[in-house]
Amino acid sequence: MTVVLATSSALPDLSQDDQLLFRALQASGVPVEIAVWDDSAVDWSQYELCVIRSTWDYVPKREQYVAWADHVASQTQLWNPAPLIRWNTDKAYLKTLEAQGVAIVPSVWLGRGSQVDIANLLQDKGWTDVVIKPVISAGGKDTFRVTPQNLAVQRDEIQTLLAGRDMMVQPFIASVKTTGELSLLFFEGEFSHAVAKVPAPQEFRVQEHLGGANQPVQTTPAQREFAVQILKELPWPALYARVDIMIGNRGELLLSEMELTEPSMYLAYDDKAAVRFAEAIQRKLSPVSV
């Protein structure tokens, strides 16, 4: 029985990081293939299990993507599960987690088509430096850092985006420029490793394609426990999870994002990470296929 790793047409051979997983599965004796998620010729029922990996082009076609996840789940095992994919591809999930007691980066939610005076919002919240982004987005696209000094330049572009998309506003967390955003990686709820992501000197977004730098990091027991408790609040189980946290301006731990759909798991930053991921996948296979 074969495992398939789902990717995008831009990465038909997977990302470099996910190639490590591919090779780890091969080395363990698990037959593994790669398929592009929106290739209509793929018969997903021929696989024992599908693991979503480098499907990084889903954002502009999110409804097609979650429908695809539903379809695959009707044909074979899908990890992470389709309901979790739908839930996690809209950052409004953060509202749910906050209501369950999770400390998130403070957020104001702006409904699509609303008219918002950003200057008044900043004044009301006492924020002088904020990040504004769509609730359905990836890779730092259409994300702005706004202060009273540059608001006039960016106001029209933000309002144009808001006309067609739900948006969110968060205070800029200063520690991202020093400690960075911490990504804690988990397989089946078990902590594997962690990476600190720091933006380029003139950037505020931590993505590598924008010049950000990643490095392995030793997390504290408190940071790991914070992430573990968040995982316990998920409405569905997760094979893989990336919990992105920040250290707030008062030293408190804050959830930045839960990455449960197609995150980079930073396998290259830990010698055993790809093997751990492969082993977790094998445990999802039926006993006969192992």
3-state secondary structure of 44: helix
Pick the most confident of 38-52, 153-167, 174-188. Answer: 38-52
Q: Residue for token digits 């990996």?
A: 53
Q: What is the DSSP string of 82-115?
A: HHHHHHHTSTTHHHHHHHTT--B---EEE-TT--
Burial (0-12, 13-18, 19+ Cβ within 10 Å), 34: middle
Confidence check: pLDDT of 290 > 50: no
Least confident of 62-76, 173-187, 198-212: 198-212
Compute the average pLDDT of residues 17-42: 98
Confidence check: pLDDT of 90 > 60: yes
**Mean of the per-residue pLDDT values of the chain:** 92
Q: Residue for token digits 């200057």?
A: 119
Question: What class does CATH assign to 108-172?
Answer: alpha beta
Classify strands 108-110 and 3-7 as parallel, antiparallel or unpaired. Answer: unpaired
CA atoms of 195 and 184, how far apart (whole Å): 7
CB 199 within 8 A of CB 177: yes
Per-residue pLDDT at 263: 96
Per-residue pLDDT at 186: 98
Instruction: Show the CA angle centred on residue 236, arms to residues 273 and 286, nearest 5°.
Output: 65
Compute the average pLDDT of residues 165-187: 92
Per-residue pLDDT at 189: 96
3-state secondary structure of 198: strand
CA distances from 234 to 171, 230, 243 (A): 25, 7, 12
Residues of the chain with pLDDT > 90: what percent? 72
- The domain limits of the chain are 3-88+274-284, 93-103+175-260, 108-172
Strand partners, 111: none
CA atoms of 224 and 191, how far apart (whole Å): 8
Confidence of residue 210 (pLDDT cuts 50, 70, 90): low
- The whole-angstrom distance between residue 248's C-alpha and the CA centroid of its chain comes to 20
Instruction: Show the CA angle centred on residue 143, arms to residues 158 and 236, nearest 5°.
Output: 115
**Domains 3-88+274-284 and 108-172 fall in the same CATH topology:** no
Burial (0-12, 13-18, 19+ Cβ within 10 Å), 177: middle
Per-residue pLDDT at 147: 86
Per-residue pLDDT at 78: 98
CA atoms of 166 and 126, how far apart (whole Å): 22
Confidence of residue 49 (pLDDT cuts 50, 70, 90): very high
Per-residue pLDDT at 7: 98
Residue 185's identity, in one-letter code, is L
Q: Could you tell me which residue, 276 or 151, shows the higher pLDDT?
A: 276
Compute the average pLDDT of residues 114-128: 89
Q: Is the dihedral of CA 19, 23, 24, 29 positive or negative?
A: positive
Per-residue pLDDT at 177: 86
Per-residue pLDDT at 151: 83
Q: Out of 1.10.390.10, 3.30.450.20, 3.40.50.20, 3.40.50.360, which CATH number does the structure's domain 3-88+274-284 have?
A: 3.40.50.20
Confidence check: pLDDT of 71 > 70: yes
Compute the average pLDDT of residues 11-23: 97
CB 17 within 8 A of CB 266: yes
Domain 93-103+175-260 has CATH 3.30.470.20: yes
- Pick from 285, 265, 286: which is nearest to 275 by CA? 265
pTM metric for this prediction: 0.91
CB 270 within 8 A of CB 38: no
CA atoms of 289 and 138, how far apart (whole Å): 35
Pick the most confident of 106-115, 186-195, 198-207. Answer: 186-195
Strand partners, 36: 7
pLDDT tens digits, one per residue of 227-256? 999 999 999 999 999 999 999 988 999 999
Compute the average pLDDT of residues 253-270: 97
| Interhelix angle 151-164/118-125, nearest 10 degrees | 100
Per-residue pLDDT at 289: 41
Confidence check: pLDDT of 286 > 70: no
